[in-house]
Structure 1
Amino acid sequence: MTTGYRPLVFAHRGGADALPEHTLGAYLRALEEGADGLECDVRLTRDGHLVCVHDRGLKRTSNGKGLVSRRTLAELERLDFGSWHPGYPADEELPDLSRLLTLERLLEAVLGCGRPVKLLIETKHPSVYGAEVERRLIKLLRRYGLADPKPDDPVQVTVMSFAALALRRIRAKTPAIPTVYLLELLPPGVGKGKLPFGSRIAGPGVELVRNRPGLLPAMRAAGHRTYVWTVNEPADLELVLRNRVDGVISDRPKFVLDHLARLSS
């Protein structure tokens, strides 16, 4: 690894390999282990609350059924979001590892942790609520003083999405917030370094990086930063480090941090 180069390390869904994803306990552990930042997905409940849940449905990560968008916050808070995961400690009552996490609770935890944190927030689309997802997000960020970031602010928010229109809405209302255009496939022109609606950060999946070896160099040549997800395996980590990515998003942030520490020793 080039001397002086060290990418940011983000805990994907809080570090979903070790502990139940999108739980407060997972995020706090990632911060304790030294992650530079956290990544979360947000969806709107039926009564307008932003909650940290990846899937449209509840079945995979809770003991509930149906769609997140059709439940109220009170209904979702009665569900168990942790005991399905193999990393959940048996026979212990651990609300931080089983309780639904709202974005508001995550913001409060990050602001209160006493150290710099970079928070990546992905708005999930398509959504039955459309642009309301971004409107609610902007309103919440403004309430916590995070919508107009200054360079020395300890908590820095970046908004990500696969939906270019979602990023356009963020740029229109909060132009100071950086945006990441997430990529699983390559839309026309993007492979040559073009990103939509003022985005300056590309967010390709690691499989796309493997299949398109010219993508990261093209982004760097165009002046864009790159955050790659979800980098969990040694070979993939070595690949993105060779390409000098700016951010590594991983379910295994401690694995990434330990690897970087060995390289710098």
Structure 2
Amino acid sequence: MSGDRRGPFVVAHRGASEEKKEHTLAAYDLALREGADGLECDVRLTRDGHIVCVHDRRVDRTSTGTGIVSELDYETLKGFDYGDGAEPADLLTLADLISLVLDWNSKPTKLFIETKHPVRYGSLIESKVLAELHRFGIAQPASADHSRAVIMSFAPTAVWRVRRSAPMLPTVLLGDTSHYLGGGAATTVGATAVGPSIKSLREHPSIVDRAAASGRATYCWTVDEKADVELCRELGVGWIATNNPGRTKAWLE
């Protein structure tokens, strides 16, 4: 996972989620057609161990159903509509999204997978995600730069587990500035990139150079304003997550 001063590369945050309902195939398909360099998703485990792309602990905000993801089985969750009313959408699994990315022929696209914590099943989410990446043959890339998947988390322990089990997979430690300014947590867990919010980056632009000095890329979220896109480009941020990848790509041209 590398970036350079010609970047940043554009990651579609939950798909093209400003235009389509988040975490739906329609949102990710639009992001790919708009030229996104990467797709971002959040993953959780259902009660019966399926990996689903849902940001919140509950499905109330994003579906016609109600309840906690980890307390519901896959068949129950699959029965809800995750669309916007006018455009119905099925529950998206990580396998669905990996297939979409690998089948996309226009250009290689990276999948940025965020594991949520704290969660009921603890480290099982990382184990399940790595098993799925192995199943698709993308858990052991030849190098981090050529990897099709990136694992991210706000939990340092989650990043450490991935680095220990799949050392060639790039990882992002997400969080506030305390993780980056001293370099402590990112160094300890072996993260290959740091992931500050755009607010943190505005307040502490030196994050990017400090990360680069320790051999790490920078992934910034969630960058939707033109001035922030320009700031990221000026600072040399490698990857930016945005809800509108098409517009952001146009700004960068």
Q: TM-score range by the shorter chain?
A: over 0.9
Q: Choose the corresponding residue for 1:233, options 216, 221, 225.
A: 225
Deviation of 1:220 after TM superposition, in Å, equals: 2.1
Deviation of 1:154 after TM superposition, in Å, equals: 7.4
Does 1:60 find its partner at 2:61? yes
Amino acid at match of 2:227: A
Q: Choose the corresponding residue for 1:173, options 165, 169, 174.
A: 165
Does 1:79 find its partner at 2:80? yes
Counterpart CA distance in 1 for 2:239 and 2:109 is 13
Amino acid at match of 1:213: P
Does 1:112 find its partner at 2:112? no
- Contact kept in structure 2, 1:9 and 1:36, CA below 8 Å: yes
Deviation of 1:185 after TM superposition, in Å, equals: 4.7
Which is worse superposed, 123-132 or 149-158?
A: 149-158
Counterpart CA distance in 2 for 1:181 and 1:25 is 28
Q: Choose the corresponding residue for 2:213, options 221, 228, 253.
A: 221
Deviation of 1:192 after TM superposition, in Å, equals: 2.6
Q: Choose the corresponding residue for 1:101, options 66, 74, 92.
A: 92
Counterpart CA distance in 1 for 2:7 and 2:51 is 32
Amino acid at match of 1:125: H
Counterpart CA distance in 2 for 1:50 and 1:256 is 29
Q: How well do the aligned residues superpose, as a CA RMSD in angstroms?
A: 1.9
1:178/1:153 CA distance change after superposition, 3 Å: closer
| Alignment deviations for residues 63-94 of structure 1 (CA, whole Å, 9 cap, x no partner) | 1111111111111111111126xxxxx3xxx5
Counterpart CA distance in 2 for 1:171 and 1:212 is 27
Q: Secondary structure at the match of 1:27?
A: helix
| Alignment deviations for residues 82-130 of structure 1 (CA, whole Å, 9 cap, x no partner) | 126xxxxx3xxx55xx211000111111111123111100000000000
Q: Choose the corresponding residue for 1:211, options 203, 214, 217.
A: 203
Counterpart CA distance in 2 for 1:8 and 1:170 is 23
1:152/1:120 CA distance change after superposition, 3 Å: closer
Counterpart CA distance in 2 for 1:29 and 1:214 is 34
Counterpart CA distance in 2 for 1:155 and 1:214 is 27
1:158/1:152 CA distance change after superposition, 3 Å: closer
Counterpart CA distance in 2 for 1:31 and 1:19 is 13
Which is worse superposed, 204-213 or 226-235?
A: 204-213
Q: Choose the corresponding residue for 2:141, options 149, 153, 161.
A: 149
Computing the radius of gyration from Cα coordinates, the structure with the larger value is 1
Q: Secondary structure at the match of 2:138?
A: coil
Counterpart CA distance in 1 for 2:34 and 2:9 is 14
Counterpart CA distance in 2 for 1:234 and 1:173 is 38
Amino acid at match of 1:26: A
Counterpart CA distance in 2 for 1:121 and 1:4 is 24
Determine the structure 2 residue equivalent to 1:191. Answer: 181
| Alignment deviations for residues 4-63 of structure 1 (CA, whole Å, 9 cap, x no partner) | 712211000002111100001110110011111100000000000000000001111111
Report sequence identity in percent: 43
Does 1:43 find its partner at 2:33? no
- Contact kept in structure 2, 1:111 and 1:155, CA below 8 Å: no
> Within 5 A, what are the aligned runs for 1:232-251?
232-251=224-243
Which is worse superposed, 194-203 or 5-14?
A: 194-203
Number of residue pairs matched by the alignment: 247
- Contact kept in structure 1, 2:5 and 2:233, CA below 8 Å: no
> Within 5 A, what are the aligned runs for 1:10-29?
10-29=11-30
Amino acid at match of 2:141: P
Deviation of 1:168 after TM superposition, in Å, equals: 1.0
